[in-house]
């Protein structure tokens, strides 16, 4: 028999289309009961038992089959008839549940039978005018039950088998009873089961969830309109700030409040509902919660692993783990997002994680940046996109969706991803930019000579030797005059200002200025070229007076210090050491962070070896003079332009930042004083342990993590110039104009200060300068992240080639559910989790006072030596990440006796 289903559908373009589908009704669909002789059984299909033995129930002692409706299907027993109507509804609502049910149906021991009622001649019903599809489906379920009831009565056996409709919907049940069917709610039925009293426990949570799942379920509260937000911000109810998602925990974020509210600088936002659809970097309005709802920043590492958007049953559980056991003093101001002032969405890179249903068109996209939520993408080309890097843009985020919606995407290479993800401008320079480059071959003109001192007669070696003069030393630090080539305001200048810095990746360099400048005109090259370039250097500052301490010593050496370059270098080196000592005495910090260098295969560009970088003495020598040059330039430009000098500061970190360092050191019986930079430096120097030479480095690494970020600023906009790390009252960047834009500005300022160049309006506008500083700071930060990501990527490649290795490592931090370890050999940092999917949770207890984590019987303290197993985890969709697992000490898992439940569907 043939009917047709006609319905109206809205196309994606918005047009309404009439769709007519044929719908065949059949007479050959088996009922699935083994005892039934009327229906021919299809061989091999799991069928219902002839005499359903299943669970004995006090409500209906007779043998029976169960026929659950959609909401009940989660919790059922054996001999179950699953209607196609129900299955399809489940499929629409929840992919994971659908998959589980499919698995159960496929298992013949379960005696599940899926009855294709929609295509059965006697159980198909039409949707009536004005009837919702929900009502229609309920009716279809009842009709099918009725059919089964009558059908089973025809079986010739002494006891007829009953069919019981299970539904939690009161309406449905009433109607079913009116029609003479046997219908129970799930609760009634399970409570009546004689053999399994423990099932009722399972039921408790089921009935809680028994609330009607509506398709248009609202997860988030509505965003307030902009006008209301502005009102609220003005009156102080709401705070405006930048939303920063937590890298480690997707359920937590902080909002940096703009403005001057001192104590509420940072507001913590915890939980999906409070985050309210804000995405990293958005400008949001936040409402503070009442004090009793304040939370502490959690030290739990949580990753959004849910395969599908419907997996939010565990959500609450996860949110609860955040809240557990915090001491009162850890509580920070907490809030919730009430509205978005400005979205800061950009294209995101990442990968597609395919839905579990293979025909599905909606999939989730997992961005490369963990702070970005996963994005729902609608595509038919999932199989082509799978496994490829794609770029998506967010379209919108409706209230009822856990994830934002996206639009199309395409492929990019790995490095592209990295650069895009860190917002690094990496396109080739445009023609407009290149047109401002000097014409080659390039030579010096008379005009250029006017403001410059001719030093060609001097013997200048590239690591400039000292000259004796009036008993003082003059050390010239010669820096290529890039500002001569980059004139203010032109396209070249704008482009380099936008780029801000050169980005160094492992196998690639993204230049700030075109190559002609960076590696030709402004670099030291072979004899002739060098000669020209040196020429163009703006030389020179004298630090005669400052060298009094060194003077005496230098004089002694001066006897044999003639033109010989080697000896002069030696002298310089000595000088540098003196400078360094003085700096360290002032309280400059020597910190350390492990840096990794790769040996690349020359053909494939795959990393073949990996080692931590070493610093040579010459580095330190040059660095010393560079620092000195920077400091003296900073002094000079600040003296000349007290309002608009571009300087660099490094704010002292708040004392609380050091908590982790001090506590960790204490666990090793060391004391770290943090009241001043000097005290810190001294105690760090002393903090050594003979049997543990690496401890000092570890402490320094930890100390580095406590530091604030050094930033550029405009001297007219700030009054704290101090550079904490270098222990210098004033500092700027002057020495690398090829790779830092800040240096170019400083060059220009210096040129004006020594009357070598003229000024221009933007240079003396402190607001413009402050804006520029903001951009530079941002670019520097992003460049740093990109660099790190590049290293991480190459480390992955390296481990892909080497395979699994066991390495010694030290514990850097201890978290609530994981430890962060550092492998000195590779300078590699990683997190070791103790909870694994599909395994019983180990017993974890975290001690906040002495940071330590006890897993079962093993306790971990910071700096403990452990052995970890490093391998490449390619199973994850955001593919390949380095995974570490603990090898030594061994954590013994308690044997976990899972209760044998009959309900295994859940």
Q: Which residues bind another protein (CB under 8 A)?
A: 2, 4, 15, 17-26, 42, 45, 84, 88, 91-92, 95, 102, 105-106, 114, 116, 118-119, 355, 357, 359-362, 378, 380
Q: How far is the CB of 266 from another protein (least distance, A)?
A: 40
In 3D space, the residue among 87, 72, 49, 237 whose CA is nearest the CA of residue 165 turns out to be 72
**Shortest distance in whole angstroms from residue 100 CB to another protein:** 14
Q: Whole-angstrom Cα distance, residue 696 to residue 690? A: 10
Least Å distance, CB 39 to another protein, is 13
Task: State the minimum distance, in angstroms, from the CB of residue 290 to another protein.
Answer: 40
Peptide bond into 154 cis (omega under 30): no
Q: Which 3 state secondary structure label does DSSP give 711?
A: strand
**Cα(678)–Cα(724) distance, integer angstroms:** 10
Closest distance of CB 298 from another protein, Å: 35
Neighbouring residues of 427: CB distance < 8 A, sequence distance ≥ 6: none
Token pair for residue 835?
């909870």
- H helix intervals, 732-765: 741-753
Contact 275, 329 (CB under 8 A): no
What is the spatial distance between Cα 141 and Cα 176, in angstroms, rounded to a whole number? 9
Segment (H or E) for 793: helix 766-802
Smallest separation (angstroms) from another protein to the CB of 163? 19
Nearer to another protein, 88 or 667 (CB): 88
3-state secondary structure 215-232: CCCCCCCCCCCHHHHHHH
Q: Closest CB to another protein among 216 and 803? A: 216
Shortest Å, Cβ 115 to another protein: 8
Question: What are phi and psi for residue 657, nearest 5 degrees?
Answer: -60, -30
Cβ distance to another protein smaller for residue 67 or 251: 67
Q: For residues 28 and 469, which CB has a smaller minimum distance to another protein in the complex?
A: 28
Looking at the Cβ atoms of 2 and 290, the one nearer to another protein is 2
> Min. distance of Cβ 28 from another protein in angstroms?
9
Tokens of 124: 């198909």
CB of 285 to another protein, least distance (A): 33
Sign of CA dihedral 436, 442, 445, 449: positive
Least spacing, CB of residue 15 vs another protein, in Å: 7
* Whole-angstrom distance, CA of residue 879 vs CA of residue 648: 39
Task: Say if residues 751 and 450 touch (Cβ distance below 8 Å).
Answer: no
Nearer to another protein, 16 or 895 (CB): 16
Type and span of the H or E element at 318: helix 313-323
Nearer to another protein, 19 or 898 (CB): 19
Q: Give φ, ψ of 260 to 5 degrees.
A: -110, 15
Q: Which of 518, 517, 490 is nearest to 504 (CA)?
A: 518
Identify which of residues 15 and 552 has a Cβ nearer to another protein in the complex: 15
Q: How far is the CB of 41 from another protein (least distance, A)?
A: 13
Residue number, 3 or 758, with CB nearest to another protein: 3
3-state secondary structure of 532: helix
**Cα 553 from Cα 628, distance rounded (Å):** 19
Let me know if 183 is exposed, middle or buried by CB neighbors in 10 A (0-12, 13-18, 19+).
buried
**91/346 with CB nearer another protein:** 91
CB of 380 to another protein, least distance (A): 7
Q: How far is CA 826 from the centre of its chain?
A: 22
Are the C-beta atoms of 723 and 648 separated by less than 8 Å?
yes
Taking the least distance from each CB to another protein, the nearer of 370 and 399 is: 399
User: Closest approach of Cβ 487 to another protein, in Å?
Assistant: 57
Q: Least CB distance from residue 179 to another protein, whole Å?
A: 25
Q: Is 821 exposed, middle or buried (0-12, 13-18, 19+ CB in 10 A)?
A: buried
Closest CA to 47 of 22, 14, 94, 82: 82
Minimum Å gap between C-beta 17 and another protein is 5
- Long-range contacts: 404-412, Cβ < 8 Å, 24+? 404/277, 404/279, 404/373, 404/375, 404/376, 405/375, 405/376, 405/377, 405/378, 406/365, 406/375, 406/376, 406/377, 406/378, 408/379, 409/365, 409/377, 409/379, 409/385, 412/349
Specify the residue, 92 or 555, whose C-beta has the smaller distance to another protein: 92
Q: Which is nearer to another protein, 21 or 234 (CB)?
A: 21
- CA-nearest of 505, 509, 499 to 433 is 499
Instruction: Indicate the residue among 384 and 806 with the shorter CB distance to another protein.
Output: 384
Strand pairing of 711-714 and 646-649?
Answer: antiparallel
Closest to another protein by CB, 20 vs 559, is: 20
User: At its nearest, how many Å lie between another protein and the CB of residue 114?
Assistant: 6
Q: What one-character-per-residue DSSP string does 582-648 give?
A: HHHHTT--------EEEEEPTTT--EEEEEE----HHHHHHHHHHHHHHHHHHHHHHHH-SSS-EEE
Q: Which one, 217 or 380, has the nearer CB to another protein?
A: 380
CA geometry: angle 349, 299, 251, nearest 5 deg: 45
Q: How far apart, in whole angstroms, are the C-alpha atoms of residue 667 and residue 116?
A: 67
Q: How far apart are CA 228 and CA 515, in angstroms?
A: 51
| CB 365, min distance to another protein, A | 16
Report residue 894 as tokens: 């308690």
Which residues, other chains included, contact 315 with Cβ-Cβ below 8 Å and sequence gap of 6+?
272
- The smaller minimum CB distance to another protein, of residues 91 and 580, is found at 91
């Amino acid at each position: 028999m043939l009917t047709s289903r006609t319905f109206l559908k809205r196309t994606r373009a918005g047009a309404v289309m009439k769709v007519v589908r044929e719908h065949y009704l059949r007479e050959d669909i088996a009922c699935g009961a083994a005892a039934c002789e009327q229906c021919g059984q299809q061989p091999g299909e799991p069928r219902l038992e002839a005499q359903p033995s299943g669970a004995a129930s006090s409500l209906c002692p007779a043998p029976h089959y169960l026929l659950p409706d959609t909401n009940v299907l989660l919790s059922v027993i054996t001999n179950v008839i699953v209607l196609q109507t129900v299955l399809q509804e489940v499929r629409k609502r929840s992919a994971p549940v659908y998959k589980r049910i499919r698995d159960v149906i496929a298992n013949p021991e379960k005696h599940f039978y899926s009855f294709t009622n929609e295509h059965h001649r006697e159980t198909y019903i039409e949707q009536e005018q004005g009837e919702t599809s929900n009502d229609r489906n309920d009716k279809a379920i009842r009709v099918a039950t009725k059919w089964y009831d009558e059908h089973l009565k025809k079986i010739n056996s002494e006891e007829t088998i009953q069919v019981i409709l299970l539904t939690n919907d009161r309406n449905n049940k009433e109607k079913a009873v009116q029609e003479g069917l046997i219908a129970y709610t799930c609760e009634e039925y399970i409570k009546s089961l004689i053999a399994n009293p423990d099932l009722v426990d399972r039921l408790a949570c089921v009935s809680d969830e028994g609330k009607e799942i509506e398709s248009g379920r609202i997860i988030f509260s509505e965003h307030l309109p902009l006008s209301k937000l502005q009102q609220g911000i003005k009156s102080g109810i709401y705070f405006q700030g930048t939303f920063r998602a937590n890298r480690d925990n997707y359920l937590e974020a902080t909002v940096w409040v703009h403005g001057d509210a001192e104590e509420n600088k940072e507001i913590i936002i915890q939980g999906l509902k409070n985050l309210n659809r804000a995405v990293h970097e958005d400008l949001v309005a936040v409402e503070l919660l009442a004090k009793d709802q304040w939370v502490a920043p959690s030290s739990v590492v949580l990753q959004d692993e849910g395969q599908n958007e419907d997996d939010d049953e565990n959500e609450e559980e996860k949110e609860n783990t955040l809240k557990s056991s915090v001491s009162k003093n850890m509580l920070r101001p907490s809030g919730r997002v009430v509205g978005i002032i400005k979205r800061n969405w950009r294209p995101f890179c990442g990968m597609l994680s395919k839905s579990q249903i293979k025909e599905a068109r909606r999939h989730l996209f997992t961005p490369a940046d963990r702070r970005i939520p996963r994005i729902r993408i609608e595509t038919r080309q999932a199989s082509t996109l799978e496994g490829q890097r794609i770029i998506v843009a967010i379209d919108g985020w409706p209230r009822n969706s856990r994830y934002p919606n996206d639009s199309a995407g395409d492929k990019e290479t790995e490095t592209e991803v990295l650069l895009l993800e860190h917002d690094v401008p990496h396109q080739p320079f445009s023609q407009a930019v290149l047109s401002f480059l000097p014409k080659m071959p390039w030579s010096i003109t008379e005009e250029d000579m006017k403001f410059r001192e001719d030093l060609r007669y001097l013997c200048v070696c590239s690591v400039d030797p000292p000259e004796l003069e009036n008993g003082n030393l003059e050390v010239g630090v010669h820096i290529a005059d890039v500002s001569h080539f980059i004139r203010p305001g032109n396209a070249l200048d704008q482009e380099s200002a936008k780029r801000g810095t050169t980005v160094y990746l492992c196998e690639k360099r993204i230049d700030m200025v075109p190559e002609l400048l960076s590696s030709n005109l402004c670099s030291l090259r072979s004899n002739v070229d060098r000669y020209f370039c040196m020429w163009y250097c703006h030389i020179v500052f004298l630090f005669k007076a400052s060298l009094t301490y060194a003077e005496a010593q230098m004089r002694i050496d001066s006897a044999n210090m003639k033109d010989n370059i080697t000896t002069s270098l030696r002298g310089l080196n000595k000088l540098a050491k003196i400078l360094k000592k003085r700096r360290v005495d002032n309280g400059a910090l020597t910190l350390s962070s492990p840096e990794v260098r790769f040996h690349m295969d020359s053909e494939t560009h795959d990393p073949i070896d990996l080692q931590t970088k070493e610093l040579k003495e010459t580095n330190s020598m040059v660095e010393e003079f560079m620092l000195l040059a920077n400091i003296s330039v900073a002094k000079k430009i600040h003296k000349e332009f007290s309002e608009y000098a571009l300087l660099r500061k490094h704010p002292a970190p708040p004392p609380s930042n050091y908590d982790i360092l001090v506590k960790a050191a204490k666990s090793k019986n060391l004391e770290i004083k943090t009241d001043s930079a000097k005290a810190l430096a001294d105690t760090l120097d002393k903090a050594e342990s003979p049997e543990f030479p690496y401890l000092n480095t570890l402490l320094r690494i930890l100390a580095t993590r406590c530091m604030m970020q050094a930033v550029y600023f405009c001297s007219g906009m700030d009054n704290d110039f101090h550079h904490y790390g270098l222990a210098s009252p004033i500092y700027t960047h002057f020495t690398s104009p090829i790779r830092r834009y800040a240096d170019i500005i400083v060059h220009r300022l210096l040129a004006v200060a020594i009357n070598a160049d003229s000024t221009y309006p933007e240079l003396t506008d402190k607001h413009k300068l402050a804006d520029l500083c903001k951009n530079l700071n941002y670019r520097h930060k992003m460049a740093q992240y990109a660099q790190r990501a590049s290293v991480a990527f190459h480390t992955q490649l390296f481990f892909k080639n080497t395979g699994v290795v066991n390495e010694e490592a030290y514990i850097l931090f201890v978290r609530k559910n994981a430890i962060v370890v550092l492998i000195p050999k590779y300078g590699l940092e990683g997190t070791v989790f103790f909870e694994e999917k599909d395994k019983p949770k180990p017993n974890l207890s975290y001690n906040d006072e002495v940071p330590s984590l006890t897993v079962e019987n093993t306790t971990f303290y910071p700096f403990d030596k452990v052995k970890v197993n490093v391998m490449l985890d390619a199973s994850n969709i955001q593919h390949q990440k380095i995974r570490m697992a603990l090898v030594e000490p061994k954590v013994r898992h308690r044997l976990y006796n899972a209760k044998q439940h009959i309900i295994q569907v859940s």
